Structure 1
Amino acid sequence: METVTIRNPGMAWDMAANILFPPGFDAGKRYPAMISNHPIGSCKEQTSGNVYGAAMAKAGFVVIVPDASFQGGSGGGPRWTEDPEQRVKDYRDAIDYAQTLPYVDPERIGILGICGGGGYSIKATIIDKRIKALVSITGVNFGRLMREGFSNFDPVGALQNMAAQRTAENAGADAQINLFVPASLDAAKAAGIADIDLLGATDYYRNRAPNAAAGTRMLVSHAAPAMAWDAFAFAETLLTQPMMVVFGDQPGGFGAYRDGMELYGRAVSKNKELVVVEGWSHYDLYDQPEPVGIALARVIPFLKQHLGG
């Protein structure tokens, strides 16, 4: 593995990324490449890197695993901004970088994203035809989630609160940074939380894969753009590349099941595969060996079919 800096064109900061190499890597050869994108609130050292990135590298791909701008090891401020359009730009900048590497075949680049990173990867694929194959792992349309559960189904009220908070911060008030998940499973249970996704997120980020670079938080005053964003816009006319959509059959509050079904139905792609992992939920697909193994048994052959390797 190598940690690199990716220039963010037109911006005042760089992105941090890990590059994972196949066994027996030979810099004199050209390999298919994957951009592997972390969930919202996560970082490159978690599931996008140490689970799916590692598996794709082992299967023969060069894998670039970036940290989102404003988060993890990447630059940009204010910190913990969650801007969907910037995330899509980050991925496209990662492709720019991959195409400069002498050991990457610039015509064989794919993208994989998990949770919100899956939604962002979908939008990147819709608009960037350099991406030759798409994999969404328990992907979520973050704009839809913001308008629904993350705003308590009051998106206009949430936007009004965001506007008031931004005004207050401009006048010198402290920033409001909201956690995506409770501080612990005990705190979640004490708050009466029963949703399988929120409990799964808490267990993953607080117990199974804690990492100081994973913020699991969002700056409220800069969250408004996500409210009017749609990961799936124009999928029925523009999402033409081969795609695989993976999610568990135990739906939870983050909505990967419904979003996966919607995307699969809407995408115009003539080569699309739906993988429903029976008996497992959203966060099981982050790191649990059995559901991850089921997913990868479909994902790796799909990528080899469309990218070679």
Structure 2
Amino acid sequence: MKAVKFKNRNWDVAGILQFPKDFDETKRYPAIVCAHPISSCKEQTAGNIYGKALAEAGFVTLAFDASNQGESGGEVRFLEDPATRVEDFRCAADFLTTLDYIDEEKIGVLGVCGGGGYAANAAMTERRFKAVVTVVGANYGRLLREGDFTADAAIKTLEGIAKQRTAQARGAEPAVTVYRPNSQEDRKAAGLNDIDIIEAVDYYQTPRGQHQNSPNHLRVDSLDKAMAFDAFHLAELLLTQPLHVVVGDKVGAFGSYRDGFELFDKAASKQKSIQVVQGASHYNLYDTPEYTSKALEQIIPFFKAHLA
């Protein structure tokens, strides 16, 4: 494992490279960029589960913190900006092509949850990605637009953001909110009882997955940037690389099951597959060995087939 930095515009993006056993820098290896979920960081599922397993399978893997988040640079902090997130992927590919031990014709990409949506979107225009995997990939813009599942929720959210930006323009402090409740007690008090929200709190807010680089902070005025974002827009035209989609069949409010099938159906890829992991929830596929091992049983051969 090696900590690295690479540039996006004029700031550093922090990453972790992981290497196969008996790595020899005089040889050339296939590589996989591993993208973390919304609100997550490189040390969580993208790096410590999928990045690690793929390195053990013979690939060099690169997990990184999104710009403006974690150990990466970029102002403003706690920003969730799809355009910048997608550019991070291109910059990761740039970085990998500077390493003599990477075969630039054998670079793949894997993303988990919102990172899966971003990975698919990036691959449409980043042709150095030769194979794409999404694990419980979610379309973040779609999730925001649905809001509380009322018809005008998105408009009300945008109107609130407009007022917040006006206040900030007049000198008010930026508003920072949370992605999820900070505890199960807070969740219960808010009446949030969906399986995805229950398990999000369990994963991120307990020793199970908690990490200092994932502090549960979100700039309110970044939500307008994501509201009109559609991770799968033009997939039927531009997403032509081999694609493997992984979902769990325990369906929750985040919608990754639905999004996975939408991406699979839309993608122009001639070689595409979808894997439904039986009994798995969204967060089971972050770190529960019973289910991540099932996902990896198909992910590893997929990448070996297309990056060999």
Mind listing any 5+ residue stretches in structure 1 that lack a counterpart?
none
User: In the alignment, what sits opposite 1:177?
Assistant: 176
Q: By how many angstroms is 1:225 displaced?
A: 1.4
* C-alpha contact (below 8 Å) 1:112/1:134 kept by paired residues: yes
Change (3 A) 1:84 1:71: same
Match of 1:282, SS?
A: coil
2:147 and 2:154 in contact (8 A); partners too: no
Answer yes or no: is the 8 Å Cα contact 1:71–1:215 preserved in 2.
Answer: no
The aligned counterpart of 1:246 is 246
User: Shift in Å at residue 194 of structure 1?
Assistant: 1.1
Specify the alignment match of 1:68 in structure 2. 66
RMSD: 1.1
Q: Write out aligned runs for 1:205-216 (5 A).
A: 205-207=204-206, 208-216=208-216
What is the number of residues matched between the two proteins? 306
Match status 1:141 vs 2:148: no
Partner of 1:291: 291
1:167 maps onto 2:174 in alignment: no
Q: Distance in 2 between matches of 1:160 and 1:32?
A: 46
Instruction: Please state how far the C-alpha of 1:152 moved relative to its aligned partner.
Output: 5.8
Give the secondary structure class of the aligned counterpart of 1:25.
coil
Identity of aligned residues (%): 50
TM-score by length of 2: 0.97
Structure 2 distance, partners of 1:135, 1:150, is 29
Q: Displacement of 1:172 after TM fit?
A: 1.6
Question: 1:266-277 counterparts in 2 under 5 A?
Answer: 266-277=266-277
CA drift of 1:104 comes to 0.2
Give SS of 1:14's match: strand
Give the deviation of 1:150 after TM superposition: 6.4
Contact residue 149 and residue 253 of structure 1 kept, 8 A: no
Structure 1 residue 169: Cα displacement: 1.3
Question: What are the within-5 Å matches in structure 2 for residues 77-156 of structure 1?
Answer: 77-149=75-147, 154-156=153-155
Shift of 1:122: 0.5
1:202-241 superposed matches below 5 A = 202-207=201-206, 208-241=208-241
Structure 1 length normalisation: TM-score? 0.97
2 CA distance for matches of 1:228 and 1:52? 30
CA shift at 1:166, angstroms? 1.1
Quote the Cα distance in structure 2 between the aligned partners of 1:284 and 1:217.
23
Q: What is the distance in 1 between the residues matched to 2:233 and 2:189?
A: 39
Partner of 1:187: 186
Contact kept? 1:21, 1:62, Cα under 8 Å: yes
Equivalence for 1:304: 304
Runs of 4+ in 1 over 2 A off after TM superposition: 149-153, 189-192
